[in-house]
Structure 1
């Protein structure tokens, strides 16, 4: 269960509604600044009041969790805010995968070969004429056709 510091002196935890909303949304810096500005107190006093409210809030949340857990038959040790996360004893060493700096042509070539190999793996066959060339041919044919029609009408 979450245990607040019993040696701490009691602090007035009554906070304005907007500051409470900031604390609940974990916007602590803005809550401290707002409380200090609204009540003309120092930042340290505002921080201590917000910390007290936060511990009170965590105690209430822990009590609610414990009541729900006891109703469902879950032991209280399974649900706790103050437990430390389990840390691996032997973390895996980090491996750096770096590519040596190369010129622009080599970068483009490697990208092009990688893309070609990926498309080959997918079974994609390249078209005989690229799309942009088809588009240019279509525009040229339309222009020639319009020119021929206009030449026949006005010529």
Structure 2
């Protein structure tokens, strides 16, 4: 790092390992405080050193990404950190829309596909579903047994 004040002592570019770990975990406030306390320097100096280390780390990561992308044939524009991320245009708000998961969307697509296949075959849905018919039969049998047992023991 270039030091414009030649009378001051040179900047120690090497940071303690604990501070480096804090920087990598994006715990910058603790890193600045720790560095300032460990080396008895001001917070501004500690912040400058940490900023320099952080930019060097980002440059190093960018170089690694570029070399990996070149090996895989990905253009550099696809991984550039310099440009702003492109946001999707905002969708108009719909009042009664509920976000669904991909799993429920997949089930809805499957259900729509089955319904369309059944419509193509000419299948008509019954008025009462099969499970409701079965429940009605069970209820009628139980009511019949109730009246039989009531007349026998009643």
Aligned-residue offset at 1:89? 5.3
- 1:136 equivalent in structure 2: none
Instruction: Provide the rounded CA distance (Å) in 1 between the counterparts of 2:51 and 2:94.
Output: 38
Matched, 1:9 2:2: yes
Instruction: Give deviations 1:99-129, integer Å, cap 9, x for gaps.
Output: xxxxxxxxxxxxxxxxxxxxxxxx9xxxxxx
Query: Against the structure 1 CA distance between its residues 41 and 70, is the aligned structure 2 distance closer, same or farther, given a 3 Å change threshold?
Result: same
Instruction: Give deviations 1:31-64, integer Å, cap 9, x for gaps.
Output: 0000001111111110000000000001111111
- 2:50 equivalent in structure 1: 50
Secondary structure of 2:81's aligned partner: coil
Instruction: Provide the rounded CA distance (Å) in 1 between the counterparts of 2:74 and 2:62.
Output: 14
Higher relative contact order (CA closer than 8 Å, sequence separation 6+): 1
Instruction: Give deviations 1:78-106, integer Å, cap 9, x for gaps.
Output: 112222111355564697xxxxxxxxxxx
Aligned-residue offset at 1:69? 0.4
Instruction: Provide the rounded CA distance (Å) in 1 between the counterparts of 2:67 and 2:22.
Output: 27
Instruction: Provide the rounded CA distance (Å) in 2 between the counterparts of 1:92 and 1:14.
Output: 52
Q: Which runs of 5 or more structure 2 residues have no equivalent in the other structure? A: 4-10, 96-131, 133-154
Instruction: Provide the rounded CA distance (Å) in 1 between the counterparts of 2:69 and 2:53.
Output: 24
Residues 13 and 50 of structure 1 are in contact (CA less than 8 Å); yes or no, is this contact kept in structure 2? Answer: no
Instruction: Give deviations 1:130-155, integer Å, cap 9, x for gaps.
Output: xxxxxxxxxxxxxxxxxxxxxxxxxx
Query: Against the structure 1 CA distance between its residues 42 and 92, is the aligned structure 2 distance closer, same or farther, given a 3 Å change threshold?
Result: farther
Query: Against the structure 1 CA distance between its residues 49 and 94, is the aligned structure 2 distance closer, same or farther, given a 3 Å change threshold?
Result: farther
Runs of 4+ deviating beyond 6 Å? none
Q: CA RMSD in A?
A: 2.8
Q: Which moves more between the two structures, 85-94 or 59-68?
A: 85-94
Number of residue pairs the alignment of both structures matches: 92
Aligned-residue offset at 1:77? 1.2
Secondary structure of 1:23's aligned partner: helix
Q: Which runs of 5 or more structure 1 residues have no equivalent in the other structure? A: 1-7, 96-122, 124-155
- 1:35 equivalent in structure 2: 35
